[in-house]
Structure formats: structure tokens, C-alpha cells
């Protein structure tokens, strides 16, 4: 099953999206993935809100038998930096957190040779790295 959620790109969107994704996990038998999905969604939606000029953020959640996959779409087609190592600096740990919790994650570009948008995605599997 796939659910598509859309919200305006604003601060309140982060909490709403993370709660909705966690609720979908719990509702469809992936309770052990709900907290990791909540954290990863929060980090990726926050990045879309802070670092793009997308007026809307689109979140797509696919619930499968063995886990969940979440895509966060925005209109900034450039690549993301690799997760940095932990240091004493504040901020910039979103992808490090996603990398540590998700079983897989990546970036898909849309629009052909000159991309016009991207989606940052992550997947969580039952019994995987993000399972409670």
C-alpha cells in the first residue's frame, strides 16, 4: 500500500509528517519500525524545509510485508552531502542519523538530463537496523 501526503513547507509540517508516518507503521503491523520511521522522516522533512525553496513537501510512504519505504520529494535537484562524522558542532546530523537507523537510503533525481527535483528516501525492514 502506498500513501501520498503533501504539506506546505513550514515548521509545523515536520511534526505532522513524522507523526503520520509513524501512525501508518503502527497501523499496518510495523510497530517496531515506528520510532525509527518517525526520526528519519523528521530529519529528511526538516532538510527539505530548511534547504529548499519548495512551497510543498511531498511524502510517499509504501507499506510492504517486510517493512516500509519513505520518499520525501522537494524541488532542489542537487546531490546531498554524505553523512558527516560525529563532532562537537551543532546541526548537520540529519543524514548521519538516517544512515545509522535506516536499512538503506538514497536520493533519486527526476527530470532527465537536467533534473528539476529529487526525492530522499529511506527503507526500514522488520528485524533490521531501525527495529526497536
Q: In the predicted model, is pLDDT for residue 92 greater than 70?
A: no
Q: What is the pTM of this model?
A: 0.88
Domain of 74 in residue numbering reads as 2-125
Question: Domain tally for the chain?
Answer: 1
Q: What is the pLDDT of residues 6-50, one digit of tens each?
A: 999 888 889 999 999 999 999 999 999 999 999 999 999 998 888
DSSP string for 55-124: SEEEEEEEE-SSEEEEEEEES--SPPPPPPPP-SSSS--HHHHHHHH-SEEEEEEESTTS--EEEEEEEE
pLDDT at residue 115 above 60? yes
**Does residue 101 have a pLDDT over 80?**
yes
Q: What is the pLDDT of residue 10?
A: 83
Does 132 reside within a domain? no
Residue 50 covered by a domain? yes
Amino acid at each position: 500500500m502506498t500513501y501520498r501526503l503533501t504539506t506546505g513547507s513550514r515548521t509545523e509540517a515536520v511534526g505532522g509528517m513524522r507523526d503520520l508516518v509513524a501512525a501508518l507503521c503502527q497501523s499496518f503491523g510495523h510497530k517496531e519500525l515506528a520510532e525509527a520511521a518517525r526520526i528519519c522522516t523528521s530529519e529528511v522533512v526538516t532538510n527539505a524545509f530548511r534547504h529548499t525553496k519548495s512551497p510543498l513537501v511531498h511524502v510517499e510512504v509504501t507499506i510492504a510485508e517486510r517493512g516500509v519505504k519513505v520518499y520525501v520529494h522537494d524541488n532542489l535537484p542537487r546531490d546531498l552531502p554524505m553523512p558527516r562524522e560525529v563532532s562537537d558542532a551543532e546541526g548537520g546530523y540529519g543524514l548521519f542519523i538516517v544512515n545509522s537507523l535506516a536499512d538503506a537510503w538514497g536520493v533519486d533525481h527526476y527530470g532527465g538530463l537536467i533534473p528539476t527535483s529529487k526525492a530522499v528516501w529511506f527503507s526500514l525492514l522488520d528485524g533490521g537496523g531501525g527495529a526497536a
